[in-house]
């Protein structure tokens, strides 16, 4: 109400927010959503406050339609939710604040739309192959193909199960496991300097010109 826009303090943070939004937006492709959708999420996340469609349109300079669709998408993914203010008919939106919850949602969605269908095809295909092979005696080649199919299937089944656990009720358990695994106790000793470097290693964004094998 009263304090709504501290114009005198033109948000020194505003610049930081902009930058975060931009960085996060570029990641959009990684989790399979559009840049704008990612930016909307970034804005809501970093801001931490409920924002309405107009706030978002303004700050991101996007159209109403785009804002609406992005928000809808985010809502579907379950990483943003609606909120209301009394005496205000606008819809406000807030982003899930728990990073792990965010990533669980991402994994859940991607698995659903990309891994599951693939797994289905692979199974179907494998069955078909098996059958065909049986009824025609076996020709040498088929065995190899079958084997490769199996290996692939096995891998994806493992990945799928792992993902299920991550997103499932025991998610927190996995969280623990992941944290542990990343923390360096593996047997075999610290042979490489890799890990300490994690911190700074990030810089080399440039393409590695290791052409021509």
Partner DNA sequence: ACGTGCTTTCAGAAATTTCTGAAACCACTG
Partner DNA sequence: CAGTGGTTTCAGAAATTTCTGAAAGCACGT
CA-based nearest residue to 96, from 104, 84, 88:
104
Size of the site for a copy of itself (CB under 8 A): 100
Distance between CA atoms of 80 and 74, rounded to whole angstroms? 6
Question: Which one of a copy of itself, DNA, none is in contact with 52 (Cβ closer than 5 to 8 A by kind)?
Answer: DNA
Residues 77-96 that bind DNA (CB under 7 A): 88-91
Could you say which of 112, 137, 138, 140 contacts a copy of itself (CB under 8 A)?
112
Question: Which one of a copy of itself, DNA, none is in contact with 150 (Cβ closer than 5 to 8 A by kind)?
Answer: a copy of itself
Residues 27-56 that bind a copy of itself (CB under 8 A): 27, 29-30, 32, 45-48
Partnered with residue 82 across adjacent β-strands are 93
Residue 152: Cβ within 10 Å count:
15
Question: Which one of DNA, a copy of itself, none is in contact with 48 (Cβ closer than 5 to 8 A by kind)?
Answer: a copy of itself
User: What are phi and psi for residue 202, nearest 5 degrees?
Assistant: -55, -25
Q: How far is the CB of 179 from a copy of itself (least distance, A)?
A: 6
Question: Which one of DNA, a copy of itself, none is in contact with 19 (Cβ closer than 5 to 8 A by kind)?
Answer: a copy of itself
CA-based nearest residue to 31, from 64, 74, 68, 80:
74
Q: How far is the CB of 5 from DNA (least distance, A)?
A: 16
By CB under 8 A, is residue 139 in contact with a copy of itself? yes
Could you say which of 26, 72, 85, 112 contacts DNA (CB under 7 A)?
72
Please say whether the beta carbons of 80 and 37 come within 8 A.
Answer: no
Could you say which of 114, 134, 137, 138 contacts a copy of itself (CB under 8 A)?
114
Distance between CA atoms of 114 and 154, rounded to whole angstroms? 16
Query: Dihedral of the CA atoms 82, 61, 88, 74 (nearest 10)?
Result: -10
By CB under 8 A, is residue 177 in contact with a copy of itself? yes
By CB under 7 A, is residue 69 in contact with DNA? yes
Question: Which one of DNA, a copy of itself, none is in contact with 134 (Cβ closer than 5 to 8 A by kind)?
Answer: none
Partnered with residue 83 across adjacent β-strands are 92
Q: What is the DSSP letter of 208?
A: P
Question: Which one of DNA, a copy of itself, none is in contact with 59 (Cβ closer than 5 to 8 A by kind)?
Answer: none
User: What are phi and psi for residue 185, nearest 5 degrees?
Assistant: -85, 5
How far, rounded to the nearest angstrom, does the alpha carbon of residue 212 sit from its chain's CA centroid?
33
By CB under 8 A, is residue 119 in contact with a copy of itself? yes
By CB under 7 A, is residue 65 in contact with DNA? yes
């Amino acid at each position: 109400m009263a304090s709504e826009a501290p114009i005198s303090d033109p948000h020194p943070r505003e610049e930081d927010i902009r930058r975060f939004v931009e960085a996060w937006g570029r990641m959009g492709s990684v989790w399979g959503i559009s840049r704008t959708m990612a930016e909307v999420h970034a804005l809501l996340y970093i801001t931490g406050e409920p924002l309405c469609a107009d706030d978002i349109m303004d700050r991101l300079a996007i159209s109403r339609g785009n804002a609406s669709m992005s928000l809808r998408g985010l809502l579907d993914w379950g990483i943003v939710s609606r909120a209301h203010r009394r005496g205000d008919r606008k819809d406000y939106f807030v982003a899930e604040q728990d990073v792990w919850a965010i990533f669980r949602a991402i994994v859940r969605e991607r698995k659903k739309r990309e891994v599951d269908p693939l797994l289905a095809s692979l199974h179907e295909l494998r069955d078909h192959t098996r059958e065909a092979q049986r009824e025609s005696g076996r020709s040498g080649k088929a065995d190899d193909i079958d084997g490769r199919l199996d290996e692939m299937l096995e891998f994806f089944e493992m990945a799928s199960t792992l993902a299920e656990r991550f997103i499932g009720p025991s998610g927190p358990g996995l969280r623990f496991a992941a944290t542990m695994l990343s923390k360096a106790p593996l047997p075999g000793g610290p042979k490489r300097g890799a890990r300490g470097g994690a911190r700074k290693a990030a810089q080399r964004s440039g393409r590695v010109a290791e052409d021509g094998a």
